Chains A and B, each alone.
Chain A
Amino acid sequence: MPAATHDLLDLDSLLTEDERAVRASVRQACADLVLPHVAGWYENGDLPAAQVRELVGEFGRLGLLGMHLEGYGCAGMGAVDYGLACTELEAADSGIRSMVSVQGSLAMHALHTFGSEEQRQEWLPAMAAGERIGCFGLTEPDHGSDPASMTTRARQDGSDWILDGTKTWITNAPVADVAVVWARTDDGVRGFVVPTGTAGVQTPTISHKLSLRASVTGQVVLEQVRLPGDAVLPGVRGLKGPLSCLSEARYGIVWGAMGAARTALLTALEYAGTREQFGRPISGFQLTQAKLARMHQAWATGTLLALHLGRRKDEHGLRPEQVSVGKLNNVTAALEICRTARTVLGANGISGDYPLMRHANNLESVLTYEGTEEMHTLVVGQALTGEPAYR
């Protein structure tokens, strides 16, 4: 895609040559592996397991899985590199970006940060290579924004652990080889490495989604699941474990949302330039130009915000409220851009021949998962005032 048509601020000049190379590789991978198929996966509401394996394998070869982690076969890239990758993935589809986010930022990040050396050696190289797929179980049917009230429980039986409970809305669960599951213990919330083949584990698919249809979502149902003593993640106790993983994934969303937004902007620009009404392209009408200008403005602003957070993360690390500002702004902006782009295309905008409704519907999930708009607003409110309004 020619940058000149939409990068009015020359934002590309803020990236290094190597960062652009990272972006080019992910863009090419998406063009080869995702874009020819994703509209079909979405329409069918089915991303077949064999396709997931193939995609994950190719992404592993590229170095995309756990790319921002060091060692254990991970590529050891920077936060901006990871952000650019998320942008390209989500420019294709939020579901594909979700698959990569969950593998790298949730499952692998948890193992990398809180796992024992044995756990890391066992899982991370294979997950980085795309030979094994991971998922991350925190949300429960009755406990979403308030994970502290979770009911999934792990009790000790001799040296073993016995897990009971249900996790839901778990991306990748039905195709996963391993689940990182968070459960209440006598010693606070702990993380467990649960191979999905363990007796008592089921990972049913959640069907009938009207969003993220090119993404595999399921539950992790645990019934009297017996795990050895070394299945617990030794490195963390309490909710700061899963919450820090979510902060990592949210950071990717800040970038990813601008990928969906870019696709919408480019789709609207191209359509407006070729669609003629009243004898000329609709791109020449003031009301259409106002839409395009506002879409560009929101996209450019969000991209700058993502890049700022990325540079901060690489140099200093990020505080949770900084990520919240990013997610709040960028997902809302992306959703608005997709909806506006849809109107530029008129009735054609709702057709599966164009990616706009797919992206807009996907972003409805992105708006609430990994922390709802409301929770992020309250995180920002607390950071500004010192008052936690949700307790």
Chain B
Amino acid sequence: MNIVVCVKYVPDAQGDRAFEADHTTDREAVDGLLSELDEYAVEEALKIVEAGEGEVTVLTMGPEDAATAVKKSLQMGADKGVHVLDDAIAGSDSVATSLILAEAIRKIGDVDLVLTGLASTDGVMSVVPAMLAERLGMPQVTFASELTVEDGSVTIRRDNEAFSETVEASLPAVVSVTDQINEPRYPSFKGIMAAKKKPVETWGLADLGVDVAHVGLGASWTMVTDTQARPPREAGQVVTDEGQGGEALAQFLADRRLA
């Protein structure tokens, strides 16, 4: 079972995140890291391979520092990494991102399963897995909260508000996983030491045969025209318990579909 995990390098949500003048994400202002939601995909890939055999390749695209996301994945236990690095990539939208990732996965070759997180923690689009599946001609099985692989197929559980679905697809397939699927490990010291010797290949768009005219801000199908800071948090609502406190709390949760 050879698995490719697509991971993204994102600005640390703990930092003061900002946008550039062209409304793209400012990737210099704040330290970046492996998107937390992608750690679940890395963990799931490691669990599958540890229980059987095969290899986990982590794939990222992005600026030079994006190698950090690959490194962290290797420290967790992935076997090798691929970093697509090319100045022309900057500003790519989801469509262009899926094109680059699809070509990179083709170049990696011999892939049984492509795993992704449920969304990036910066763009939060969740569309790349579907686009990727389309481009690769693979079935897409999204938002997996449980995943099993056997006999050439993958079965997942997708939890909705009112019910859970079990979905099966033949391999190779593209699967996005949620933050409910597992508890990502943190790198052990042996993992940190071993990662130093693991191979990471850096590819440019020319290596992938991707025309620079199809990627980057200029080629994007969509454009962000404005960004605004989130309004300051409003004061909470105080419920004075006069016997109906429990009901009021239950109503509050039900209104927001939290219970």
Contacts and interface: CB of A to CB of B under 8 A. Distances in A.
Interface of A: 2, 17-18, 21-22, 24-25, 28-29, 61-64, 67, 75-77, 81
Given A2-B14, A2-B15, A22 B186 contact: no
A24 B188 CA distance: 10
B192 A21 contact: yes
Contact of B186 (A17, A18, A28, A67): A28
Contact of B188 (A2, A62, A76, A81): A62
A74 to B, nearest CB: 9
B163 interface: no
| Chain B: number of interface residues, binned into ranges | 10 to 19
Given A67-B189, A75-B189, A81-B189, A21 B72 contact: yes
17 contacts: A17-B68, A17-B71, A18-B196, A21-B71, A24-B186, A25-B186, A25-B188, A25-B189, A61-B188, A63-B189, A63-B190, A67-B189, A75-B188, A75-B189, A75-B193, A77-B189, A77-B193
B63 interface: no
Interface string B57-101: 000000000001001100100000000000000000000000000
> What 6 pairs across the A-B complex have the smallest Cβ distances?
A63-B189, A75-B189, A28-B186, A25-B186, A63-B188, A21-B192
Contacts of A63: 188-190
Main DSSP-derived SS at the A contact region: helix
A76 B186 CA distance: 18
Contacts of A64: 189
Interface of B: 14-15, 68, 71-72, 75, 186-190, 192-193, 196
Contacts of A62: 186, 188-189
Contacts of A76: 193
B192 A18 contact: yes
B189 A22 contact: yes
Nearest to A61: B188
Contacts of A75: 188-190, 193
B187 A21 contact: yes
Contacts of A17: 68, 71
Nearest to A31: B186
A72 to B, nearest CB: 13
A18 B15 CA distance: 21
A384 to B, nearest CB: 38
**Best-buried of B14, B72, B186 by chain A (most CB within 10 Å):** B186
Given A62-B188, A75-B188, 16 more contacts: A2-B15, A21-B71, A21-B72, A21-B187, A24-B186, A24-B187, A25-B187, A25-B188, A25-B189, A25-B192, A29-B186, A63-B188, A63-B190, A64-B189, A75-B189, A76-B193
